[in-house]
Amino acid sequence: MPWSVRVAVAAVGLVALVALAALAIVLRAGSAPWTESAQLAGYAAGFGLLLGGLAARKRLAWLWGRYLGFFLFAVALVGVLANARRLGAPGVGVIVLGFASPLLAASLALGRPSALAWFGLVCPTCDLPSTRGDLLMRRVRCVRCGVTF
């Protein structure tokens, strides 16, 4: 496993652990509505699935990790900027260091050439990295030579 993929796996693992820790805090407090607990459990499960897919070399996990990471990073930053007073310094720190920054690191790491090669996203005929695939990333088409692999 190349280092870029290891960085992405570690970053997604950190986000899953932060979601589990937040779930444990909410459940321990007992005063939050069940919807908040279910939402945190869904986050933890989703990032756990993403973590397993990245470790298993699934192209669909690469797709979700790469693009969802950028999207959630932007959403987290907008949320922090809009609610910085209400969250306070500890809340902002947890969101930025435990959620937004690892997602950005994972997205950037999954864009490295070594990560693209690890997930089989390099054309076997012309060696051009390509990420144009079908909906589930089972087949990828090279933009230069048109080969589907």
- Separation between Cα atoms, residue 107 and residue 83, nearest integer Å: 25
- Token readout for 90 is 């500890």
Residue 122 has pLDDT above 90, yes or no: yes
Domain spans, the chain: 3-115, 119-149
Going by pLDDT thresholds of 50, 70 and 90, the confidence category of residue 15 is: very high
If residue 75 lies in a helix (H) or strand (E), which one and from where to where? helix 59-82
* pLDDT for residue 31: 75
Cβ contacts of 71 within 8 Å, gap of 6 or more: none
* Residue range 120-148: mean pLDDT, rounded: 91
Q: Is the pTM of this model over 0.85?
A: yes
Report the b/e string of 7-30 with b at 16+ CB within 10 A: bbbebbbbbbbbbbebbeebeeee
pLDDT by residue (tens digit) across 19-65? 999 899 889 988 778 888 899 999 999 999 999 999 999 999 999 99
* pLDDT for residue 146: 86
Percent of the chain scoring above 90 in pLDDT: 66
